[in-house]
Amino acid sequence: MDTLVSRLTVYKKAAENSFLARMADFVADWKKGSETNNRYQSALGDLTAELLEIATRCGLDENLWQGYLACFLLTAECPFSLTVERAKEPEGSIHQLVKGDMERFFALFHYDFSAMEQSLGTDLFSVLTHYHAIPKSERAYNKGVSGQVMALMHRLKEASDPEEFYLAVTDTYRQVGVGTFGLNHAFRVEKGKDGRAVFLPISNLEQKKMSDLLGYEWQKAKLIENTEAFLEHKPANNVLLFGDSGTGKSSCIKALVSRYGDKGLRVIEIYKHQFELLSDIIGQIKSRNYRFLLYMDDLSFEEFEIEYKYLKAVIEGDLEVRPDNLLIYATSNRRHLIRETWKDKTDSDNELHRNDTVEEKLSLVHRFGLTINFSKPNRKEYHEIVKFLAQKAGLDVSDEAALFLAADRWEMTGGGISGRTAEQFVQSLSGKETT
């Protein structure tokens, strides 16, 4: 094993500091016989714990070693895997180098641990390669990632030689993609130690459907039309969804992820205090074979905040052209995003060019090509939403008058008439019925 890993070429950098490299080092030490049996047992225990942690995170089952290798190949971002992801056929000598790596991975995939087990007096490898995972809540792992990894593992098992092994991997790169963007549909961002943007997968995104949002038909149709044009590489606009709180703006974005994630849509959620990372985010995603939405929820700026200038430059006005695989979708309770005051309407502060200040603030919203208004429902619409959600939750809605009266009482003590208030009311009813 140690020789196989050390001879990797195209995948060598991806293997550095990985579980695969640590496992290879352990096997090399075992071959040398330079450690005591207790030291081997301790090191093996650490490796087992790490593999089990990977298995839990990725939802592995059956053969954890083979599952790990499938996961490694799916997440290894290298020039070859990224080229294949873009549906291009790599040319030149890299083919031979990759074929050599695939021969090594084929041997690693079928590695025989029996000699090591006998030497160390353990059956641990037999347990890990014939594993039966305890059923877990979907919140404990990413079900989508698990499905892709297990599908590749099963296909690699069926490969009779390194050539079929190679075809299984490259077909998966073309169909699924590679790395964190290939395996996940939604992300948050944080600033890494080196100051660069780090993408954190959202593994348990709330599954929403457009049909879960009652009403707002033309708004949903506009959003779907724009998003589908974007996915089809046609001209599409940045979108601002504005209006009253709790009307379903954020739910529409979540529904887009559920609906189009398998078609290459990726959503990156970013907050205004992170706008300094925008240029780096764009630099990291512009060459990937996905369509990205930069999602900004509840976007608004106070008078003293200037982060909106970063956003203006990205949308339109920077020297660097915004990549055509990126759009910005934002939600806000404010139509004009930036707080306006009476001072903007008067010359009480003696500013000579007051109109320039107002235009500076309004120019941000003008850079969204499509603005969609979500107004709060009226009382009748609120009742229809309550009934719709109650039926969906399996509650008895035969006494509509009592249901609507209770919903009105809830609304008066809550956040006012909105879809969110209706959802919270129905959740309260459901909780009472299950107790």
In a domain, 236, yes or no: yes
Q: What is the pLDDT of residue 362?
A: 60
The token duo for 275 is 């706008």
Place 140 in a pLDDT band, splitting at 50, 70 and 90: very low
Q: 211, exposed or middle or buried, with CB in 10 Å at 0-12, 13-18, 19+? A: exposed
Tell me, yes or no, whether 197 and 324 share the same domain: yes
Q: Are 339 and 262 in contact (CB under 8 A)?
A: no
Place 339 in a pLDDT band, splitting at 50, 70 and 90: low
Tell me, yes or no, whether 176 and 30 share the same domain: yes
Tell me, yes or no, whether 45 and 179 share the same domain: yes
Which tens digit of pLDDT belongs to each residue from 351-402? 444 455 455 556 666 677 888 988 888 899 889 888 888 888 888 888 888 8
Q: Are 16 and 6 in contact (CB under 8 A)?
A: no
Contacts by residues 155-158 (CB-CB < 8 Å, ≥ 24 positions apart) = 156/66, 156/69, 156/70, 156/109, 157/66
pTM: 0.79
3-state SS of 95-151? HHHHHHHHHHHHHHHCCCCHHHHHHHCCCHHHHHCCECCCCCCHHHCCHHHHHHHHH
DSSP class of residue 76? -
The residue whose two tokens read 């601002």 is 240
Q: Are 420 and 410 in contact (CB under 8 A)?
A: no
SS3 231: helix
Q: What is the pLDDT of residue 365?
A: 67
In a domain, 225, yes or no: yes
Tell me, yes or no, whether 160 and 171 share the same domain: yes
Q: Are 290 and 177 in contact (CB under 8 A)?
A: yes
Tell me, yes or no, whether 387 and 360 share the same domain: no
In a domain, 212, yes or no: no
Taking the C-alpha atoms of residue 386 and residue 259, their distance in angstroms, rounded to an integer, is: 24
Q: Which of 70, 282, 249 is nearest to 176 (CA)?
A: 70
In a domain, 341, yes or no: yes
Q: What is the pLDDT of residue 318?
A: 56
Taking the C-alpha atoms of residue 327 and residue 313, their distance in angstroms, rounded to an integer, is: 14
% pLDDT > 90, the chain: 29
Q: Which of 357, 242, 281, 148 is nearest to 252 (CA)?
A: 242
Tell me, yes or no, whether 325 and 388 share the same domain: no
Q: β-strand 197-201 against 186-191: which pairing, if any?
A: antiparallel
Mean pLDDT of 103-107: 94
Tell me, yes or no, whether 418 and 357 share the same domain: no
Please report how many Cα atoms fall inside a 13 Å half-sphere around the Cα of residue 69, on the Cβ side: 25
Tell me, yes or no, whether 12 and 106 share the same domain: yes
Q: Domain span at residue 222? A: 186-205+217-374
Tell me, yes or no, whether 235 and 324 share the same domain: yes
Taking the C-alpha atoms of residue 242 and residue 252, their distance in angstroms, rounded to an integer, is: 12
Per-range mean pLDDT, top range of 7-11, 173-177, 274-278, 425-429: 7-11
In a domain, 99, yes or no: yes
Domain harbouring 266, CATH code? 3.40.50.300
In a domain, 18, yes or no: yes
Per-range mean pLDDT, top range of 264-278, 321-335, 349-363: 264-278
Detail the DSSP E strand segments found in 48-105: none
- Predicted confidence (pLDDT) at residue 238 exceeds the cutoff of 60: yes
Tell me, yes or no, whether 136 and 266 share the same domain: no
DSSP class of residue 326? E
Domain count for the chain, please give it: 3
Which tens digit of pLDDT belongs to each residue from 175-229? 888 888 988 899 999 998 888 999 999 877 777 888 888 888 999 999 999 999 9
Of 328, 347, 374, the residue that ends a domain is 374
In a domain, 64, yes or no: yes
The token duo for 270 is 């970013």
Tell me, yes or no, whether 28 and 139 share the same domain: yes
Tell me, yes or no, whether 386 and 403 share the same domain: yes
Detail the DSSP E strand segments found in 356-414: 370-374
